[in-house]
Structure 1
């Protein structure tokens, strides 16, 4: 749940203000590097929020379907969370390149 809160906080702090500023100004004054960095964060935050929600759903599914198989659940959850954040970063990388 902490990872979902972090991802949603990124959406709240990065995505929403960027979209609001874009709707008001329709022009970017921060330079190309800042634009690329913020677009990377915007996309990564949106991907992370979705992927972490999927990880939580998979974890809950596993807990319901196999309630006695909790031996490797913590390690599996950490691996899935790492994959979710990693995929978010990788899928947002095209925003950095030119």
Structure 2
């Protein structure tokens, strides 16, 4: 998401300086940009927690799939929740 949403959006915005896409597209892209940034940070936390748990409990790999799914669901949900106010903001 960072590569395909945030970086091209910032590049286009820096080149044109002005937004020509309309208010709805602006809100959508700002939401996606914020969502991608939150998701990236939370996914890094999930990976770190998974590696930490794998080192401390190497024989408990049977529960890892379920635990990782729960952590990823939480990461995506928090990203969605924290980026959702961006849709309601007026530019």
Q: What does 1:64-75 align with in structure 2 at a 5 Å threshold?
A: 64-75=55-66
Secondary structure at the residue paired with 1:16?
A: helix
Secondary structure at the residue paired with 1:40?
A: helix
Gaps of 5+ in 1: 1-9
- Offset, 1:30: 0.6
- Offset, 1:70: 2.1
1:87 alignment counterpart: 78
Gaps of 5+ in 2: none
- Offset, 1:71: 2.9
Given the alignment, which residue of 47, 52, 75 partners 1:61? 52
Count of residue correspondences: 89
Secondary structure at the residue paired with 2:88?
A: coil
Q: Deviations along 1:41-71, whole A, 9 cap, x unmatched?
A: 0110111111111101100100001112223
State the superposition RMSD in angstroms: 0.9
TM-score, length of structure 2 as denominator length? 0.92
Is it true that 1:33 corresponds to 2:24 in the alignment? yes
Q: Deviations along 1:64-94, whole A, 9 cap, x unmatched?
A: 0111222311101000001111111111011
